[in-house]
Copies of this chain bind each other. A is one copy, B any other.
Amino acid sequence: MAKRPPTIPDSELDVLKVLWERGQATVREALETLKAAGREWSYATVATLLDRLETKGLVESDRKELAFVYRPTISSQEVRQRRVSSLVDKLYEGEPGLLVLHLLKSHPLDPGQASQVREVLDQMTAGKPAKKKG
């Protein structure tokens, strides 16, 4: 069976985020959490969204007492990875470096983050015999 990266629309992503935060949740719990976050949906809407996520294999559920408890089967890292790759492919010629540059130019980091970035850069080029050539 081929790998089919199912698309995750915004509304589904919102409920998925709730599952990541809480680890798992019933429809009602997700509903409440979302409401607290400003997303006021009807019970049925949240249920539909969870259902669609399950159909796509991104969450799984099992009955606990009377209600189903949903749990993500995909990590936020995985989703981030996909979104970023897709963005880079579509708008940055497949060059993550361009995105990094763009980000730094348009959204200045605070000093703390800046030094974190430097650290990562140093580690990255440290062991590297930066010898590129065919």
Taking CB atoms and an 8 Å cut-off, the chain A residues in 112-129 that contact chain B are 112-118, 120-121, 124-125, 128
- In the bound complex, how far is the Cα of B18 from the Cα of A110, in angstroms? 36
Judged by a CB distance under 8 angstroms, whether A4 is at the interface is no
> How far does the Cβ of A111 sit from chain B's closest Cβ, in whole Å?
4
A117, B115: Cβ atoms under 8 Å?
no
Contacts of A114 in B (CB 8 A): 121, 124-125, 130
Judged by a CB distance under 8 angstroms, whether A44 is at the interface is no
Contacts of A101 in B (CB 8 A): 113, 116-117, 120
A97, B125: Cβ atoms under 8 Å?
no
Which among A32-40, A49-57, A64-72, A78-86 touches the partner chain?
A78-86
Residues in A lying within 8 Å of B, measured CB to CB: 10, 13, 76, 79-81, 83-84, 87-88, 90-92, 96-97, 99-118, 120-121, 124-125, 128, 130-132
